[in-house]
Amino acid sequence: MIEGWLTDGQAARLAAAAARSRPDGVVVEIGSFRGKSAVVLASTAGSLIAIDPHAGSDRGPQEIEADATRGDADFDAFHANLAAAGVADRVRHVRKFSSDAHQDVSGPLSLLYVDGAHRFGPARADLRDWGRRVAPGGVMLVHDAFSSIGVTLALLVECALSPRWRYVGRTGSLAEYERVESGPRDVGAFARELPWFARNVLIKVLVVAGRRRWAERLGLDPAAPWPY
């Protein structure tokens, strides 16, 4: 069992998207942590470029500052988990911040999984700069799409208002978008998820305030630290 925040349902959605991914593009993950999603993508798609600096920064809930010790521990666990799952030879790890890794990936993307820094600035840059590399017909999946304020705002700006992304749906807060040549700006699809987003933010506020029981009454899984 690999440590991480991806739920079983979300892993199934990732696997289904990877199984459908077009053979003429690469599959890229931004934010690998200890390999939970990377194993799913590599097993199903056959190959994966995993971008993660493993600097210990923007790592998980309230873990924003860099911390080399925890970053190195994540790096070691990531590679050990890939080996244990038998997919080490299917994954090329780029140990860089996503904004510095563009030259390390050539060609269009058939699938992009975004789960790196969740603050608005870097999340927006990932959706904008990596998203534009997804080929028409390709797919972009975004974790914490409707549970992290930075990611949700970035999605609003870069995807909900864009004619180039069609919202497909979500599993928990894992959102799926299809890259299209041009389509209607479907802000309504985004707006319909706002009650779910508000519920998740409220749950997080209650957890931080030490009111877990109240959060569980709103639907937080007792086994989960956070809503995903």
Ligand X SMILES: C[S@@+](CC[C@H](N)C(=O)[O-])C[C@H]1O[C@@H](n2cnc3c(N)ncnc32)[C@H](O)[C@@H]1O
- The minimum distance between CB 56 and ligand X, in angstroms, equals 7
The only residue of 13, 59, 124, 133 in contact with ligand X, by rule CB under 6 A: 59
Rule CB under 6 A: is residue 115 a binding residue for ligand X? Answer: yes
> What part of residues 2-21 is at the interface with ligand X (CB under 6 A)?
4-6
Rule CB under 6 A: is residue 122 a binding residue for ligand X? Answer: yes
Binding range to ligand X, per CB under 6 A, among 47-55, 85-93, 103-111, 217-225: 47-55
The residue (of 59 and 93) whose beta carbon lies closer to ligand X is 59
Question: 15: which 2 tokens?
Answer: 């696997």
Rule CB under 6 A: is residue 148 a binding residue for ligand X? Answer: no
DSSP H helical segments within 95-211, as ranges?
Answer: 120-125, 149-155, 187-191, 194-208
Question: 85: which 2 tokens?
Answer: 């799952």
- The minimum distance between CB 205 and ligand X, in angstroms, equals 20
Q: 173, 145 in Cβ contact below 8 A?
A: yes
Binding range to ligand X, per CB under 6 A, among 31-39, 150-158, 169-177, 217-225: 31-39
The residue (of 99 and 199) whose beta carbon lies closer to ligand X is 99
Largest CA distance in the chain: 49
Residue nearest ligand X, Cβ-based: 4
The only residue of 26, 44, 45, 58 in contact with ligand X, by rule CB under 6 A: 58
- The phi, psi pair for 83, rounded to 5°, reads -65, -45
- Taking alpha carbons only, the member of 100, 89, 106 closest to residue 53 is 100
Contacts of 112 (CB under 8 A, 6+ apart): 27, 28, 29, 30, 130, 131, 133, 134, 138, 139, 140, 141
d(CA 132, CA 208): 36
Name the site residues for ligand X (rule: CB under 6 A).
4-6, 30-34, 36-37, 51-54, 57-60, 74, 97-98, 115-117, 122
